[in-house]
Structures are given as structure tokens and as C-alpha cells.
Structure 1
Amino acid sequence: MTLTINTDVIRRLRDALLAEAATGAGAQDAHPHRDAALARVAPFAETMYLVMIADGRSAPQEIAAVRGAVRLLTRDLLEDADLDRLLDACAAAASERGAEVMLQVLGGRLCANRGDRETAFTLAAAVALADDEVTDSERALVGDVAEWYGVSSKRARELLGAMQSTG
């Protein structure tokens, strides 16, 4: 599946994530629901992380987009140290398992909830565009996310705000 990721919808989402990362201060005190928030957001963070490293590098804007998304998803419950540990855990899992195995596992965790799998897919696209350059490897991985998470080609294009898929 070839997807058009650089759309108005995804640019707006990317901009919101980057703004959240820049303005989010992080929780000042440990929140009693922090562990639950971390567990809930982990599959989304892992998905975004895989897209971020798909081209073999992680641009500062991509890291900021992941951090902004996690802040939004957790309503800023996490401290910066929690975000750092989450990203470290994503790196370890990606190194140990590889992208395809992780996508299979994550797809299994998210496939029961349409909203979750569509959110993960859309956030993945926003991270791919975070540095204003969507590489072929990032585009392919976003397509793999759609496939493993059960997002149809038609629905993927709708979520991206693209009427047709192009190269």
C-alpha cells in the first residue's frame, strides 16, 4: 500500500504534537495513575518509535512528536523521566525483536479496538512527517502499521486526509 502522508490533516496533527512537546512541562509530582497511563500509551509509543527509526535515524522533530503525542495521550500525567524511560524501553524492544515482530505483537494488542488502531496509525504518519521528509522506509512502515493493525487501504487514506494514494 502506497500512502500519501504529507497531507493537511497530518501536517496539522504533526504541528499539534510538536507544539505539545514544546509547551508540555510534564507532571511535577508522581501521579497515582502513572503506571496505568504508561501501560496504556506504550503500544502507541512503540508504534511511533518504529516509524521514527525506520530510516535509520531519529530526527529531533520526530522525538519531539513522539513526546508530544505521549503527553497528549496521557493528559500530561508523566514526568520527563517517565518519557525518557519509555523511549529507552522502545529502543530496547526494537533492537531485541525487530520491527516486523513488534508490529505483529502491537497489532494483536490494538486490533480489538478500532479507535486505538486508527489512532496508532495516524500518529505513526504524523511522526513520519515530523521532520518534513517522509522517506520510502517510513512510508513503507506506516503502510505496514495499517496492514498489521487492520486499517484498510480506504480507511487509511480517509484518516490521512488523502483522496487517492500516490507515490
Structure 2
Amino acid sequence: MGSEVFARLEELGLTIPPVVPPVAAYVPALRTGNHVYVSGQLPMIDGKLPAAGLVGADVTAEQAKDLARQAGLNALGAVHALVGLDKVVQVVKIVGFVASAPGFTGQPGVVNGASELFGEVFGEAGKHARSAVGVSVLPLNTPVEVEAIFEVA
């Protein structure tokens, strides 16, 4: 995969962000064996949340999908800082959490923001298992949070 990943990122006009500092007692990513486990990533941009609140009330599903994409990009930043994106063999699984207003059922479409990003960046190796979960509230009142598992060389 190697340099292909960086070429795809450039084609997409994306820059890998620096690691978002943890907001509690954990590390952004941890390698064990040939897997990297990325802690839940918020859609921070330059240390700030671009939106807050519940999807389906304060934030639209389209906005939340963009936020999930940013959270996915932040996950890539955590992997890159730990082992380098060129070491990714496969995106194994992602879990997306969506702070949902009562009655909102579009969590899968929101989490597609991260899933589609991984597909664009890694091609076939970006296909993954996934869960999209609706919750009542998330840390810092973020609308979305994405965690991921990557297989690495």
C-alpha cells in the first residue's frame, strides 16, 4: 500500500492532522501485535469541535456525516503518529457513536462519513466491519465519535 495512501490523500486534498490530545486517561492509539486500536476520536479541527449537540435536533444528518469523516481523519492521524499510514494492511473494524435526538434513526448514514473516507484512502483495504450506535450524549457534547481497529505490517 505504502506511497499509494499518500497519493490518494493528496488527490483527495486531505492532510493528516496531528494527533488530537486525549481528554481523559487513555492513549490515542495502541499497537499490540499486528493491530492498532484507535481510541474514540472526536471531529476536532485545530483543537475545537466544529459543532455540538444532538443529531436530528441541533445538527443535521449531513453535517454529522461530515463530522464523522473528520473523526475518521483524526483516527488516521493517530495511526500515522504511532506506526505510519504506509504500514496499514487493512481497516478491520470501526465503531461510530452518534449522539441522537429522540426518534433519529439515521446513524448508519452518519457513520458512512468515516467508512467512505477509509474506502477512498485505502481502496479495497478500506472495507471493514462496522457498528453504528445511537447514544444520548457523547463527551464534550460532540455529535459523533469514531473508534477503529487497523491491521498493520
Please give the TM-score of this superposition, normalised by the length of structure 1.
Answer: 0.29
The structure with the largest helix share of the pair is: 1
| More contact order relative to length (CA 8 Å, sep ≥ 6) | 1
Please give the TM-score of this superposition, normalised by the length of structure 2.
Answer: 0.31
The structure with the largest strand share of the pair is: 2
